[in-house]
Structure 1
Amino acid sequence: MTLLDRLNQDMKQAMKNKDKETLSVIRMVKASIQNESIKLGKDTLSEDEDLTILSREVKQRKDSLQEFKNAGREDLVEKTENELDILAQYLPKQLSDEELTSIIQETIKEVNATSMKDMGKVMGSVMPKVKGQADGTKIKQIVEQKLR
């Protein structure tokens, strides 16, 4: 079942359950997918492209969440956390810190990285391997730690 099929199915269920928040999040994700397919001139997007859009939506909300926390807006913090919980249902299983560290160490060996100057090479090689399965910020922190 494609992401779009799942979103449509869950959207119908949210309508039946009168779950406005879930419905709103699903509609936003569907709109993003639709906009991207129009931009690329395709009828349907690949799973990889869907995952990219979903990851972008999650990242936007995480950034907003941090801003809301800094501004002391607890009402918006709670709403954004709920949206993140809803989006998490559509993401692939997240990698544990140990799995992520293992992948990063293998990649460092593959690209023969020795210093912080090689960070771009490592990040460029790691990101496609873990797409949607780990947060970019966490990946960056582990890579920096391993290259020091």
Structure 2
Amino acid sequence: MSLLERLNNDMKQAMKNKEKDRLSVIRMVKASLQNEAIKLGTKELSEDVELTVLSRELKQRKDSLHEFDKAGREDLVEKLRTELAIVELYMPKQLSEDELSVIVKETIAEVGATSKAEMGKVMAAIMPKVKGKADGSLVNKFVQQHLS
């Protein structure tokens, strides 16, 4: 089942159950996917593009959560936490720190990097492998640890 089909089914279920928050988030994600399809001029998006859109939605909410938390807006923080939980349901299973560490070590060996100066090369090689399965800042942290 494609992501769009899953969103449609979940949207119908949220309508039946009168879950306003869930319905709102699903509609926003669905709209983002449809806008991306229009932008790319295609009818169906590849899994990779869908994952990119989902990651962008997740990142936007995390950034907003951080800003609202800093500003002391607890009402908005709680709403965003709920939205984050809903969007995360559609993301692939996240890699554990151990799994990520193994991938980082393997990629460093593949690329032959030995210093932090080659970090860009390592990041470019590793990000496609962990796309949607690990946060970029966490990957960056692990790469820095292993290169020092």
Q: Aligning the two structures, in what range does the TM-score lie when normalised by the shorter sequence?
A: over 0.9
Amino acid across the alignment from 1:47: E
Deviation of 1:147 after TM superposition, in Å, equals 1.1
Deviation of 1:144 after TM superposition, in Å, equals 1.1
Deviation of 1:86 after TM superposition, in Å, equals 0.3
SS at 2:99 equivalent: helix
Structure 1 segments of 4+ aligned residues over 2 angstroms from their partners: none
Deviation of 1:146 after TM superposition, in Å, equals 1.1
Q: Deviations over 1:27-61 (max 9, x none)?
A: 11111101100000000101111011001100111
Quick check: 1:61 aligned with 2:61? yes
Q: What residue in structure 1 maps to residue 139 of structure 2?
A: 139
Q: What residue in structure 1 maps to residue 46 of structure 2?
A: 46
Over the residues paired in the alignment, what is the CA RMSD in angstroms? 0.7
* In structure 2, distance between residues paired with 1:127 and 1:89: 21
Aligned length: 148
* In structure 2, distance between residues paired with 1:124 and 1:9: 36
Amino acid across the alignment from 1:49: V
* Long gaps (5+) in structure 1: none
Amino acid across the alignment from 2:24: S
1:85-124 mapped onto 2 (5 Å cutoff): 85-124=85-124
* In structure 2, distance between residues paired with 1:119 and 1:81: 33
| Identity between Structure 1 and Structure 2 (%) | 66
**What is the TM-score with the length of structure 2 in the denominator?**
0.98
Deviation of 1:7 after TM superposition, in Å, equals 0.2
